[in-house]
């Protein structure tokens, strides 16, 4: 009886260690590295205009198509994305260097106005999804309102 109990406990322990769905979707994977990692960490010091456009595309994918078991964008993604597209040069960079596929994410061609609206929306979404982020984002939104 004792051996049977040990066998059952061992089987339960081993089957519970199986692959589980991750909490968040970080973009498509290539060689066990997410698109987010490839575009941010590896290219951080050498952000070319094309890399910025690719990053905007990846962020939009993570926000529009959240995966993982929680089905919401990962923590900080909405804030990072919103902050990126609110930068003064981002809209012009995107207008000049984005591919047709990347531009198809947005309706219209006035990227400055679109990015301003979308950036603020994303910062508010970060607060909605992760209320603890309000400590950092509310002052930023107040500064943007001026």
Tens digits of residue pLDDT in 74-118 = 999 999 999 999 999 999 999 999 999 999 998 888 999 999 999
Q: Is residue 13 part of a domain?
A: no
Least confidently predicted of 23-27, 102-106, 112-116, 136-140: 23-27
User: Alpha-carbon distance 135 to 130, whole Å?
Assistant: 11
User: Alpha-carbon distance 73 to 66, whole Å?
Assistant: 5
Q: Is residue 11 part of a domain?
A: no
DSSP label at 18?
S
pTM of the shown model: 0.78
pLDDT digits (tens, 9 = 90+) for 31-70: 566 777 777 765 566 788 998 999 999 999 999 998 888 8
Q: Is residue 97 part of a domain?
A: yes
Q: Is residue 14 part of a domain?
A: no
Q: Is residue 68 part of a domain?
A: yes
Least confidently predicted of 21-30, 69-78, 127-136: 21-30
Q: Is residue 49 part of a domain?
A: yes
Q: How many structural domains compose the chain?
A: 1
Give the residue numbers spanning the domain of 95. 22-145
Between 128 and 47, the higher pLDDT residue: 128
Q: Is residue 66 part of a domain?
A: yes
Q: Is residue 2 part of a domain?
A: no
Give the CB-side neighbour count of residue 12, counting CA atoms within 13 A. Answer: 6
């Amino acid at each position: 009886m004792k051996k049977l109990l040990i066998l059952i406990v061992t089987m339960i322990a081993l089957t519970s260690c199986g692959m589980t769905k991750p909490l968040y979707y970080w973009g498509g994977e290539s060689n066990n590295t997410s698109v987010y990692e490839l575009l941010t960490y590896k290219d951080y010091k050498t952000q070319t205009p094309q890399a910025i456009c690719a990053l905007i595309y990846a962020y939009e994918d993570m926000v529009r198509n959240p995966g993982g078991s929680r089905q919401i964008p990962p923590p900080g993604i909405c804030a990072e994305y919103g902050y990126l597209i609110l930068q003064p040069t981002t809209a012009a960079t995107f207008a000049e260097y984005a591919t047709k596929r990347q531009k198809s994410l947005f309706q219209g061609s006035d990227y400055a106005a679109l990015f301003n609206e979308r950036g603020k929306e994303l910062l508010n979404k970060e607060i909605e999804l992760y209320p603890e982020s309000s400590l950092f984002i509310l002052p930023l939104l107040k500064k943007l309102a001026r």
